């Protein structure tokens, strides 16, 4: 496995892979890989000739008060994981090469997809995500790109980005990977102390409470939301950023549960903002 740090070098490699008609599976990451990322790399490995994992901590998707400076980084560990999982390349470009001083072109997703859920408290976040992915896709030229369903809004926005801009890559969503007790895997889980780690279970458990209500026949989203919010508020270390029940395709809020509904939430546990969701199928 090779670690490629230069954009031009990655482009040359991708070009020659294309000439040899091999497929490229890409897993875009910001590093500090966990089991969620591993499942994406495994999936990419199963279904492509060549696997490229990008490790790039993208500054433009972080707000001024977010954790860019403190975000965990460990390229050596990430590279080892990628190698063990059979990746062919780790693409780790330099921040200043990706965004030189005169960089001025951004890809801005539609407001209807960004003025809900995570987009509300993270203005500019999805603009940063769409801009970096457009650049990464253009450099690596993957046939398939793999994303976790944990970031369900990101998955939906990236699917729309690729469709709207006719980018020639298939976006493939992969199921949320969880710890044994149900907490969704995330690089941010490393910020939690023991007490917070226990409290963090409130995300998954409150979603399961909501799901239980739906399974018992309750379809009124207001009732379900109230029950989830009350459940979370019982946990002293938890502070809700949002809890929403929305249509998967449009992200519009809905009044009655129907097929393809998402229950999604972001909750602060102490200072750490965690997300989780469930896709409800009827």
DSSP code of residue 129: H
Using the contact rule CB under 6 A, the part of the chain among 112-120, 125-133, 192-200, 234-242 near ligand PAF is 125-133
- Cβ atoms 139, 273 nearer than 8 A: no
Q: Which of 61, 186, 205, 277 binds ligand PAF (CB under 6 A)?
A: 61
Under the binding rule (CB under 6 A), the answer on residue 153 touching ligand PAF is: no
**125: annotated active-site residue:** no
- The catalytic position among 34, 37, 92, 125 is 37
Using the contact rule CB under 6 A, the part of the chain among 38-46, 67-75, 97-105, 128-136 near ligand PAF is 128-136
Binding mask 28-47 for ligand PAF (x = CB under 6 A): xxx-----------------
Cβ-based nearer residue to ligand PAF, 18 or 127: 127
Angle at the Cα of 133 from the Cα atoms of 176 and 117, rounded to 5 degrees: 50
Cβ-based nearer residue to ligand PAF, 132 or 199: 132
Q: How far apart are CA 7 and CA 128, in angstroms?
A: 19
Joined together, the tokens standing for residue 9 give: 């070098």
Q: Where do we find the tokens 């903002």?
A: 273
Q: How far apart are CA 44 and CA 86, in angstroms?
A: 10
- Least separation in angstroms between residue 247's CB and ligand PAF is 22
Coil vs helix vs strand at 269: strand
Binding mask 249-268 for ligand PAF (x = CB under 6 A): --------------------
Q: How far apart are CA 279 and CA 282, in angstroms?
A: 10
Identify which of 148, 192, 139 has the alpha carbon closest to the alpha carbon of residue 12.
139
Under the binding rule (CB under 6 A), the answer on residue 58 touching ligand PAF is: yes
Joined together, the tokens standing for residue 129 give: 């995500």
In terms of Cβ atoms closer than 10 Å to its own Cβ (0-12, 13-18, 19+), residue 76 is exposed
Joined together, the tokens standing for residue 248 give: 């998967």
- Least separation in angstroms between residue 49's CB and ligand PAF is 22
Site for ligand PAF in 132-151 (CB under 6 A): 132-133, 151
Under the binding rule (CB under 6 A), the answer on residue 52 touching ligand PAF is: no
- Cβ atoms 137, 167 nearer than 8 A: yes
Cβ-based nearer residue to ligand PAF, 120 or 223: 120
Q: How far apart are CA 174 and CA 46, in angstroms?
A: 13
Cβ-based nearer residue to ligand PAF, 28 or 210: 28
- Least separation in angstroms between residue 44's CB and ligand PAF is 14
Count of positions on this chain that bind ligand PAF (CB under 6 A): 10
Interacting residue ranges for ligand PAF, rule: CB under 6 A: 28-30, 58, 61, 129, 132-133, 151, 154
């Amino acid at each position: 496995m090779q670690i490629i740090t230069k954009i031009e070098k990655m482009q040359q490699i991708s070009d020659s892979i294309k000439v040899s008609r091999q497929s490229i599976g890409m897993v875009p990451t910001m590093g500090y890989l966990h089991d969620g990322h591993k499942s994406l790399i495994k999936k990419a490995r199963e279904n492509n000739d060549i696997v490229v994992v990008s490790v790039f901590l993208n500054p433009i998707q972080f707000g001024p008060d977010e954790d860019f400076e403190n975000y965990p980084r460990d390229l050596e560990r990430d590279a080892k994981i990628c190698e063990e999982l059979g990746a062919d390349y780790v693409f780790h470009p330099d921040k200043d090469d990706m965004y030189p001083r005169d960089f001025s072109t951004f890809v801005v997703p539609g407001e209807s997809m960004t003025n809900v859920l995570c987009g509300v408290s993270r203005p500019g976040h999805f603009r940063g995500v769409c801009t970096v992915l457009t650049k990464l896709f253009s450099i690596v030229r993957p046939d398939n790109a793999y994303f976790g369903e944990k970031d369900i809004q990101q998955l939906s926005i990236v699917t729309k980005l690729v469709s709207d801009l006719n980018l020639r890559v298939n976006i493939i969503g992969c199921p949320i990977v969880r710890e044994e007790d149900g907490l969704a895997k995330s690089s941010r889980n490393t910020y939690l102390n023991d007490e917070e780690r226990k409290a963090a279970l409130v995300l998954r458990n409150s979603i399961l409470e909501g799901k239980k209500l739906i399974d018992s026949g309750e379809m009124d989203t207001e009732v379900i939301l109230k029950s989830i919010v009350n459940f979370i508020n019982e946990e002293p270390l938890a502070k809700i950023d949002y809890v929403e029940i929305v249509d998967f395709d449009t992200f519009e809020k809905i009044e009655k549960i129907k097929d393809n509904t998402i229950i999604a939430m972001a909750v602060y546990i102490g200072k750490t903002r965690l997300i989780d969701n469930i896709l409800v199928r009827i």
